[in-house]
Amino acid sequence: MTLIRPIDPGSDFEIRLVAQRMRETLVEVLGEERGGELYEPAWLEARVRWHLDASACTGAVFVAEDDDALVGHTIVRLERASYGESEEPGEDEPLLGLFSTIYVVPSARRAGVANALIERGEAWMHTQGMTRAATLTDAHNTKLHELFFARGYSLTPLPDDFVRLSRTL
């Protein structure tokens, strides 16, 4: 049985693993050349830690654990509703819950892990008072599109070949 739990913020191993898998997500979606060179490993690790720093971000990192192995993760945070649409979202804009990333190891896919991670992320967003949830992704990331469509998310095209998948919570 898969357990969804918050990442251990004191575990360098878990933080590094999530950062490594963030890179794997980029490579899977964008290809080795574009995705593999987008961010340095140290930046990705710092980004995971940023989501855990309450003074910097209202966010959370959840991991999926199965038989003592981490088989997936999701990173969520509160973000301005126009995030990804403009250079500088206005401070007076409403917030929404944003899935920054979601990943499941290939051997654990199609077993409900991604849905369990999304459910946990949406529950966290709800406790933060959010009424909308969203994720941004490449326009060609059809696997993620299908996963979120099945949960009632709709697609909005964005500039630079990105899309927003969103729904009311």
Q: Find out whether 151 and 117 touch, Cβ atoms under 8 Å.
A: no
- Residue-wise pLDDT for 114-137, tens only, equals 999 999 999 999 999 999 999 999
Determine the Cα–Cα distance for residues 147 and 149; give it in Å rounded to an integer: 6
Determine the Cα–Cα distance for residues 158 and 125; give it in Å rounded to an integer: 23
Question: Given strand 154-158, what is the order of strands in its sheet?
Answer: 3-6, 59-66, 69-80, 95-104, 132-138, 162-168, 154-158
CA-wise closest residue to 39 among 53, 58, 25: 25
The enclosing H or E element of 52 equals helix 41-52
Lowest mean pLDDT across 56-60, 80-84, 99-103? 80-84
Q: pTM of the prediction? A: 0.92
Residues 87-103 have a mean pLDDT of 82
Determine the Cα–Cα distance for residues 68 and 65; give it in Å rounded to an integer: 6
Q: According to the model, what pLDDT value does residue 39 have? A: 84
- Residue-wise pLDDT for 15-29, tens only, equals 999 999 999 988 888
Taken in order of first residue, the domains within the chain and their CATH numbers are: 3-130 (3.40.630.30)
Determine the Cα–Cα distance for residues 165 and 154; give it in Å rounded to an integer: 5
- Residue-wise pLDDT for 135-146, tens only, equals 999 999 999 999
